[in-house]
Amino acid sequence: MTPPLVAVIGRPNVGKSTLVNRIVGRREAIVEEQPGVTRDRKVVEAEWNGRDFLVVDTGGWLATDDGIDAQVSRQAERAIAEADVVLLVVDATVGVTEEDDRVAGLLRRANKAVLVVANKVDDGGREVDAWAFAGLGLGDPYPVSALHGRQTGDLLDAVVERLPGKEVDDDTAAQPAEPDVPAVAIVGRPNVGKSTLFNKLIGDDRSVVHDVPGTTRDSIDTVVETDEGPIRFVDTAGMRRKSRIDEGPEYYSLVRALQSIDRAEAALLVIDATEGVTHQDQRLAERVDAAGSPVVIVLNKWETLDAERREHVMADVGRRLEFLGYAPVLKISALTGKGVHKLIPALGQAIDAYHRRVPTGELNQVVQAAQGAHPAPGGARVLYATQGAADPPTFTLFASRPLPPTYLRYLERKIREHFEFGPTPLKLRVRRRAG
Ligand code: GDP
Ligand code: GDP
């Protein structure tokens, strides 16, 4: 299920970042924007009362003639357009400013769920200051202190109430038609070659392609008939050559990437090999890994690299994407098409493995053989193993004592090799069992 989007807007210094940090608590920002035009923008994942949502800190709003500020304003406008809920943060110690008024007018016309957050109400005595903002015509303001956490819980209750569609636990309920068609997200930073690759994938004369409405607002998916069966590529509008759309500020392409990862069963992580593995690539990879989706790493523009550079990039992958050690790495040129034919089979294998269940008897034989060849330190023993779940394959090991992480990785490797899980992430859980 795609997390809804909450945009935080307001003048500089009203406390937007403080509020976002308060909402997010100790959770880390998943996307750190490149140093931006005027300041960094960020998208963070948040959760309240069991609801997950994304929070975009838009950085500020200043409608002046200055080009830089105009750009910031455009981003805020964009945030308003895309958001499910908008938090307009104002400073209760300052009162209503002309800019607050102007933004409020825009928000009233946008017909969005808007909450006015009167910030810096650090104690009850200041609450009366907050009421001035009722004049903005956006409903009763929420007096909070982002700094001290005062009444931020009430605010979050109100935010969550306004989020669209209750979370549905049952995955299938959220799926559109064609539930059997596996969904694949093509993700990567701008300009790594996603569009070129996508068009190469569907450009083959034999391929049958049709667009279907996606599950997120305004999104289009493309279903492609492949030798491995149909595959649904999610959120492809920005990648179709004919309908190349302006994706706007980079953080929006990142929000979209995060949303498509959540909707997909597998991801193609496209990396521009000429630039090596960047920090942003690493962040996306972490996110794919956290979603538990199998991933195929695609090193694009490979044809432009000399031998030395190729070696360097491979070392980069080994070091920076070590946590995806199970993922296949394909070296391709989306431009010339070299290596592209390997993608669909790699994806097919990943998706297959993702849904696979292995026989319990055979699993236990594999685990016992692994222990025979190489017993766990300290006399620990796995007594029994079972696959508790698929999507991704999850194994429960009943052990006499805790197993060290290195030993778990060893067992994981043995299970992966024996059952040919390939690029699919596996989860191993250990339960203590006397014996
Ligand atoms: P932004 O520019 O809107 O993101 O604002 P910041 O979050 O950077 O905050 C601007 C300043 O206001 C900082 O010095 C904060 O410490 C301060 N501030 C933020 N929230 C509160 C609050 O609830 N009470 C008080 N007294 N100060 C606050
Ligand atoms: P996107 O933003 O990730 O969709 O990237 P595009 O597909 O628009 O590609 C960005 C640029 O990289 C374009 O100029 C492409 O022609 C170029 N490009 C894409 N794939 C390759 C490749 O395999 N080799 C080379 N040399 N250039 C490529």
Q: List pLDDT tens digits, range 5-23.
A: 898 988 888 998 889 888 8
Looking at per-residue pLDDT, the higher value among 119 and 401 belongs to: 119
Which whole-number Å values give the CA distances from 350 to 51, 179, 223, 340, in the listed order?
Answer: 29, 18, 18, 16
Region for residue 404 given its phi and psi (left: phi exceeds 0; alpha: psi -120 to 50; beta: otherwise): beta
CA 174 from chain center: how many Å?
18
21 lines ligand 1 (CB under 6 A): no
pLDDT category, 292, cuts 50, 70, 90? confident
Sorted by sequence, the CB contacts under 8 Å of residue 193 that are 6+ apart come out as: 270, 272, 300, 301, 334, 335
Q: List pLDDT tens digits, range 314-366.
A: 999 999 998 887 788 999 999 999 999 999 999 888 888 888 888 888 999 99
Three-state DSSP string of 31-88: EECCCCCCCCCEEEEEEECCEEEEEEECCCCCCCCCHHHHHHHHHHHHHHHHCCEEEE
pLDDT category, 179, cuts 50, 70, 90? low
Tell me the percentage of the chain whose pLDDT exceeds 90: 33
Could you tell me the distance, in angstroms and rounded to a whole number, from the CA of residue 383 to the centre of ligand 2?
52
What is the residue whose two structure tokens read 């104002």?
90
73 lines ligand 2 (CB under 6 A): no
- Averaged pLDDT, 182-198: 91
Mean pLDDT, all residues of the chain: 81
Report the DSSP beta bridge partners of residue 46: 53
- Averaged pLDDT, 49-54: 86
State which of 83-87, 230-234, 332-336, 378-382 shows the largest mean pLDDT: 332-336
Among 18, 33, 55, say which to mutate for ligand 1: greatest number of ligand atoms within 8 Å of CB.
18
Nearest listed ligand to the Cα of residue 272: 2
Could you tell me the distance, in angstroms and rounded to a whole number, from the CA of residue 363 to the centre of ligand 1?
56
pLDDT of 46: 85
pLDDT category, 104, cuts 50, 70, 90? confident
Nearest listed ligand to the Cα of residue 198: 2
Closest C-alpha to ligand 1, atom 17: 15
Looking at per-residue pLDDT, the higher value among 248 and 125 belongs to: 125
